[in-house]
Amino acid sequence: MPRRASRLIHNMDLRTMTQSLVTLAEDNIAFFSSQGPGETAQRLSGVFAGVREQALGLEPALGRLLGVAHLFDLDPETPANGYRSLVHTARCCLAHLLHKSRYVASNRRSIFFRTSHNLAELEAYLAALTQLRALVYYAQRLLVTNRPGVLFFEGDEGLTADFLREYVTLHKGCFYGRCLGFQFTPAIRPFLQTISIGLVSFGEHYKRNETGLSVAASSLFT
C-alpha cells in the first residue's frame, strides 16, 4: 500500500474516509459516464459505482464491529483480536481506494494518464473490498449467534459446518497479486517491489490466455 494511503488510516476516522471516498467516486462516475460509449470509460464508471456501493454498505458494519471488538481483547493492554484485524484490513483497502480515486480525479484528463493500469488496479481493489464486506457479514453472524464475549460456536456442529461451507465459497484470489499485503522491514521493500511487479505482470499476461511458455517469457522481460 502506498505511504499516503497508510497515513490516511491514521489521520481520518472511518466515516470521514467513507464520505470522502463516496464523493470522489461519484465525481469520477459523472466524468467517465460523459466520455461516450467506449468500453474503458464504461468500466471505469462501473468500478467507481461499485466502490461507492461497497463503501456505503461497509462503513456501518465496520462501526458495529469496532463497538464490540474490545470484548475479545486478551486484556486492556493488548487491544488485538481477529475482529480488529478485519476492521483494520478493510480500512486499509478503503484508504487505498481513496488514494487511487483522488489520483484518478486529478489526472484523468492528462495525456499521461495510464487508463488500463488504473482500471486494473481499481477493479482488483474493488474485488477485495467486496470480499472483505462478505467477511464482515460472517463476522457479524458470529457475534449474533454466539453468547456475548464468546468467539467460537458452542455445541452446534451443524451451525459450524454450515458456516464453514459458506465461507469456502468466498473468492480468495482477489487478495493476491495487486492486493497482496503483509508486514515486512523497510530494508527489503525494493526486493519485494520487484517480486510484486513480476507477479502482477505474470497475472496480466496469464489473463490473456497465452501459453505457459510465452507467459513466463513475457513476464521476465516486462
List the domain boundaries for the chain.
Answer: 3-179, 182-222
What does the pLDDT read at residue 73?
Answer: 87
What does the pLDDT read at residue 204?
Answer: 67
What does the pLDDT read at residue 206?
Answer: 65
Specify whether the CB–CB gap between 146 and 160 falls below 8 A: no
What does the pLDDT read at residue 5?
Answer: 55
Count CB neighbours of 39 within 10 A: 7
User: Which amino acid is residue 149, in one-letter code?
Assistant: G
- Helix/strand/coil (H/E/C) assignment for every residue in the chain: CCHHHHHHHHHCCHHHHHHHHHHHHHHHHHHHHCCCCCHHHHHHHHHHHHHHHHHHHHHHHHHHHHHHHHHHCCECCECCCHHHHHHHHHHHHHHHHHHHHHHHHHHCCCCCCCHHHHHHHHHHHHHHHHHHHHHHHHHHHHHHHCCCCCCCCCCCHHHHHHHHHHHCCCCCHHHCHHHCCCCCCHHHHHHHHHHHHHHHHHHHHHCCCCCHHHHHHHHHCC
What does the pLDDT read at residue 222?
Answer: 45
The residues, any chain, with a CB within 8 Å of residue 43's CB and separated by 6 or more, are 119, 123
Mean pLDDT, consecutive 10-residue stretches, the chain (222 aa), reads 55 88 98 91 97 97 92 87 92 95 96 92 95 92 79 67 79 76 78 80 65 50 44
What does the pLDDT read at residue 39?
Answer: 93
What does the pLDDT read at residue 75?
Answer: 86
Ramachandran area for residue 36 (φ above 0: left; ψ -120 to 50: alpha; else beta): left
- Whole-model pTM: value is 0.78
What does the pLDDT read at residue 174?
Answer: 80
What does the pLDDT read at residue 9?
Answer: 56
